[in-house]
Chains A and B, each alone.
Chain A
Amino acid sequence: MSELASDAKRLTISGMNKYYGAFHAVKDLNIEVEPGEFLVLLGPSGCGKSTALRMIAGLEEISSGSLTLGGRDLTDVLPKYRDIAMVFQSYALYPHKTVAENIGFPLKVAKVEKDLMERAVYEAASQVHMEGLLDRFPRQLSGGQRQRVALARAIIRRPACFLMDEPLSNLDAKLRGAMRAELKHMQKSLGVTTIYVTHDQIEAMTLAHRVAIMKDGILQQLGTPAQVYSDPANLFVAGFMGSPPMNFIEGVAGRGTLDLGDAQLPLSGVAEGTKVTLGFRPEDSQVMDAGSGRFDADVFTSEMTGDLTLVTLRRGETHMTIKMPKDYEAPSDDRAAIGFEAAQAYLFDTDTGARLDASLTEG
Chain B
Amino acid sequence: MTERTLYQRLFEPPRINQMAIGTKVVVYGLLLIWSAVVLFPIYWLLITSVKSAADVNGGPVYIPFVDFTPSLHAWRELFVVDYEDTLRAYFNSIIISLAATLLSTLIGSMAAYALARVKYAPNLVTVLIFAILMIITFVSIGIYGVDWRLVIASALAVFFFLMKAVSSRVKIPLKNGDILFWMISQRILAPIVVVVPIYMMFQTVRMLDTHLAIILTYAVVNLPIVVWLMYDFFTSIPRDLEESAQLDGATMFMTFREVVLPLSKAGLAATTLLVMILSWNEYLLALFLSTAKAQTMPILVAAMNAGERGILWWSMSAVIVVMIIPVVFMAVVLQRYISKGILLGAVKG
Residues of A whose CB lies within 8 Å of any CB of B are 57-59, 78-80, 82, 84-86, 88-96, 105-106, 108-110, 137-143, 146, 153, 157, 170-171
Contact A59 B342 (CB under 8 A): no
Pick the contact of A140: B245, B345, B347, B348 (CB < 8 A).
Answer: B345
Tell me if B166 is interfacial: C-beta within 8 Å of chain A. no
Known contacts: A91-B347, A92-B346. The answer to whether A80 contacts B259 by CB under 8 A is no
Contact A79 B246 (CB under 8 A): yes
Pick the contact of A88: B240, B263, B343 (CB < 8 A).
Answer: B240
User: For A108, what are the chain B residues with a Cβ–Cβ distance below 8 Å?
Assistant: 258
Bound: A142/B240 CA distance, A: 19
Contact B247 A109 (CB under 8 A): no
Contact B345 A86 (CB under 8 A): no
Contact B244 A88 (CB under 8 A): yes
Number of interface residues of B (CB under 8 A): 25
Contact B348 A170 (CB under 8 A): yes
Known contacts: A92-B238, A110-B249. The answer to whether A171 contacts B244 by CB under 8 A is no
Contact B349 A95 (CB under 8 A): no
Q: What 0/1 readout, one digit per residue, does chain B (307-349) give for beta carbons within 8 Å of chain A?
A: 0000000000000000000000000000000000011111111
Contact A86 B244 (CB under 8 A): yes
The list of the 10 closest CB pairs from A to B, nearest first, reads A139-B345, A143-B349, A90-B347, A138-B345, A92-B240, A92-B244, A95-B346, A106-B248, A80-B249, A96-B262
Bound: A82/B200 CA distance, A: 54
Tell me if B82 is interfacial: C-beta within 8 Å of chain A. no
A264 to chain B, nearest CB (A): 54
A29 to chain B, nearest CB (A): 20
Tell me if B243 is interfacial: C-beta within 8 Å of chain A. yes
Tell me if B302 is interfacial: C-beta within 8 Å of chain A. no
User: For B349, what are the chain A residues with a Cβ–Cβ distance below 8 Å?
Assistant: 142-143, 146, 170-171
Contact B263 A96 (CB under 8 A): yes
Residues of B whose CB lies within 8 Å of any CB of A are 238, 240-241, 243-251, 254, 258-259, 262-263, 342-349
Bound: A260/B344 CA distance, A: 58
Bound: A59/B348 CA distance, A: 21
17 contacts between A and B (CB under 8 A): A57-B243, A57-B247, A58-B247, A79-B247, A82-B247, A85-B248, A91-B347, A92-B243, A94-B245, A95-B345, A95-B346, A96-B342, A105-B245, A105-B248, A106-B249, A108-B258, A109-B250
Bound: A82/B250 CA distance, A: 12
Name the residue on A nearest B242 (C-beta). A92
Contact A94 B247 (CB under 8 A): no
User: For B238, what are the chain A residues with a Cβ–Cβ distance below 8 Å?
Assistant: 90, 92
Q: Apart from A143-B349, A153-B248, what 5 extra A-B contacts exist at CB < 8 Å?
A: A85-B247, A93-B346, A105-B250, A106-B248, A138-B346
User: For B243, what are the chain A residues with a Cβ–Cβ distance below 8 Å?
Assistant: 57, 59, 79, 86, 88, 92
Pick the contact of A94: B241, B249, B251 (CB < 8 A).
Answer: B241
User: For A138, what are the chain B residues with a Cβ–Cβ distance below 8 Å?
Assistant: 345-346
Bound: A118/B263 CA distance, A: 24
Bound: A109/B254 CA distance, A: 8
User: For B250, what are the chain A residues with a Cβ–Cβ distance below 8 Å?
Assistant: 80, 105, 109
Contact B348 A137 (CB under 8 A): no
User: For B348, what are the chain A residues with a Cβ–Cβ distance below 8 Å?
Assistant: 90-91, 143, 170
B126 to chain A, nearest CB (A): 23
Bound: A93/B343 CA distance, A: 10
A59 to chain B, nearest CB (A): 5
B339 to chain A, nearest CB (A): 13
Bound: A138/B345 CA distance, A: 5
Known contacts: A109-B254, A137-B345, A138-B346. The answer to whether A157 contacts B248 by CB under 8 A is yes
A2 to chain B, nearest CB (A): 23
Contact B247 A86 (CB under 8 A): yes
User: For B254, what are the chain A residues with a Cβ–Cβ distance below 8 Å?
Assistant: 109
Name the residue on A nearest B343 (C-beta). A95
Pick the contact of B247: A80, A140, A141, A142 (CB < 8 A).
Answer: A80
A42 to chain B, nearest CB (A): 22
Bound: A114/B258 CA distance, A: 17
Bound: A351/B179 CA distance, A: 50
Bound: A57/B243 CA distance, A: 10
User: For B240, what are the chain A residues with a Cβ–Cβ distance below 8 Å?
Assistant: 88-90, 92
Pick the contact of B342: A79, A90, A95 (CB < 8 A).
Answer: A95
User: For B241, what are the chain A residues with a Cβ–Cβ distance below 8 Å?
Assistant: 92, 94
A232 to chain B, nearest CB (A): 34
Bound: A115/B153 CA distance, A: 56
Name the residue on A nearest B263 (C-beta). A96
Bound: A155/B263 CA distance, A: 25
Bound: A110/B247 CA distance, A: 12
A196 to chain B, nearest CB (A): 16
Which residue among A94, A105, A110 has the maximum number of chain B CB atoms within 10 Å of its CB?
A: A94
User: For B344, what are the chain A residues with a Cβ–Cβ distance below 8 Å?
Assistant: 95, 139
Bound: A90/B263 CA distance, A: 17
Which residue among A92, A93, A137 has the maximum number of chain B CB atoms within 10 Å of its CB?
A: A92
Bound: A157/B240 CA distance, A: 19
Bound: A83/B260 CA distance, A: 23
Contact B249 A93 (CB under 8 A): no
User: For A143, what are the chain B residues with a Cβ–Cβ distance below 8 Å?
Assistant: 348-349
